[in-house]
Structure 1
Amino acid sequence: MLDLAKLAGQIPGISQHFKKEVAASRQRLERAQVLLLETQAKQEKLIELHQKWRDRLIFSVAIPIEPFDTRITIIPPPDRYSVFATDGSQIAPSHHEIAYCYLINVGRVMLHYGQNLHPLIDSVPEVYYKPEDLYVSKQWGIRTEEWMGYRRAVLETQMLAEIACRWVNPPGAHYDPNLALVDGSLIYWFLDGLPLEARDRILLPILEAWEQLRETKIPLIGYLSASRSTEAVNFLRLQACPHESPNCLANCSDLEEDRTPCQIIDPLRDATLWAYILEPGQRGPLWRSSLRILDLYGDSLRVYFCYVNVGTEIARIEVPAWVAEDSELFDRSLGIMLAQVSKGYGYPISLAEAHNQAVVRGGDRARFFALLEQQMIRAGMKNVGVSYKETRKRGSIA
């Protein structure tokens, strides 16, 4: 139980800390705005510098595809279109439960506008209980809970491609605009440090699903709310570098990264900077991410991004290269995305509904294990029950 009386004494200190952070953030933003103007004047030269020295940089830099002063008002969506979205949730395995297994529940949403068609709003659960499901990741030193999260990403993407591609060619097919939405980033940077075999088991099925969307011409968007990325702001560090060449390994190898001379605006985030630049309904310049994991994606699936003022926040919008390179498709996709945000009162309604379908609440968890317990008893298993530790935690006398 949280003792609020003891906690109250710490609140003034927290308040003072955030007050100082607000002042420091304002100073960083002012410096960034000046640096942005300087960088804009030398944009092409800095891109060339990055191409030459990117292997010597100690930070990730996104490459601007459009001028820094790009401010484009997003066009309204068409009258008829369909949106597809998935999101997932899970029940983690526990040795204290009646059985060591885990469950992944994927919410699926298909919404049609201007077409007088019924939506699809449901969820699909998958239970993993076989040894090859539970312990396959041990050979690579990956915890089962971590592997479960990777498997969830695969299922979300595969089901998204399945419902979207199946819809495009039903009997009497029509070809109204479509959009597939993903909650979060399309860049699976956390897979970069995995052993090759483990990484391929996760990344390759995801890329195959994306390829299905590309072949069916269904644009894909990754929607990031409250993005913490600094990829675009890091491009300004090339201009802030006081050395003749941005060779971090030679010039700053003896310094900690947060003390290098180009860190004059750190830790300013991309979204914070573009919040002072973009008006509601506008997008900023398009960027190409340079994260190393994207080298495995292939040219058509490499990730591009931009920042959009959706009215309630600055959202980071990610798309595969084939979408970004088709300006008409890209603009239309952004229009549909913005309409989804409006219908969802600040967050895409299709993603919100997919989350609501996927989330596993306490009652759902209890019913799942109760159902499992019944089946185990019917199968003739004895001493079925949770551990004594779990029993005491659920029935505390305090």
Structure 2
Amino acid sequence: MSSHARLAMFTRFSITRWWSIVLKEFLQLRRDRITFGMIVGLPIVQLALFGYAINTDPKHLPTAVIVAEESPFSRSFIAAMKHSDYFDIKETLPDEDAGRRALAQGRVLFVLNIPADFSRKLLRGERPALLVEADATDPNAVSKATSALSGLVQPVADKDITGPLAYLNGKPAAFDVQVHNLYNPEGITQYNVVPGLMGVILTMTLVMMTGLAITRERERGTMENLLATPVRPIEVMTGKIVPYVFIGLIQASIILAATRFVFHVPLLGNPVAIYLAALLFIAANLTVGITLSSLAQNQLQAMQLTVFYFLPNILLSGFMFPFSGMPAWAQFIGNLLPLTYFNRLIRGILLKGNGWADLWPSVWPMALFTLIVMGIALRFYRRTLD
């Protein structure tokens, strides 16, 4: 065969050769179960999250009441709050200190305070006020609910202030509702978003970097050398994690400095508490990354698993959308993610000045998450040794 004929054979497009390549790629995709799962799973997850979980008009927000006076007027106003769909009365608290603790710990977003002399002042025509304190660290979560409060006054007055008391029901209304937005009274969005960015950035970078740790060893052919040594799985895992702990602390320091001096977010709490919370959160993310690295067969799979883990974190943790506005199943998933608790910790320390007692409800779930995920990583790592 002449050189010209051979050149023509290779330059001519062949359906048979082309179809062989297509079949080969389909075969590889079928064998790569993680990639195939991402092809199907990611669209389903995105549809579920954006279609059902994300809600920019949160309702049924957790609310507590401090009732210093039981009267028909107070009961009617509490009932009106329930019927508005914006408020879900979770508990009755004894005093204002208990209300502030509930707001600081994030158990409730609103506290209604009904004073002891409310009915007496109302019957005297003195236009008493009900106090509603709101956790405004996330302005978007409470803005519509606080706007709805003013609309509850007149229906309650029309219902209860009748007959001989009808002369009290005029303009202005017989009583008032005063809303105090705590922790972020100006409603500055950066105060909520910028602290949360610390958790988002740490999650994205640390999980991705450690997610490639073991798969990189496997693809470079150095995994065999590592397996030939008497190094135990726990030693490999922790040894690979420690360098990234320092990277995470450096990132946290850079973000904290920008938060304070560029965006002027107040720092009301203890800086030591910030670094301890960041250290625990870094450990949680590194264990996730090393677990994904143990599960993945190559770096592409590790990257895909990282994206699959990162998507629910950014959408269900309360970083972008109000956590309380999500349905119960989405909140359940969000409560399994360390970023949810870190957002509460960092915002609580910076904006609320929370102390150790207020931080503990968000600390222990992250510690438990870290231990469980590390156990999973060790189990799957042992399987790779076989």
Give the structure-1-normalised TM-score.
0.21
The structure, 1 or 2, with the larger RCO (C-alpha pairs under 8 Å, 6+ apart) is: 1
Max Rg structure: 2
Higher relative strand content: 1
Higher relative helix content: 2
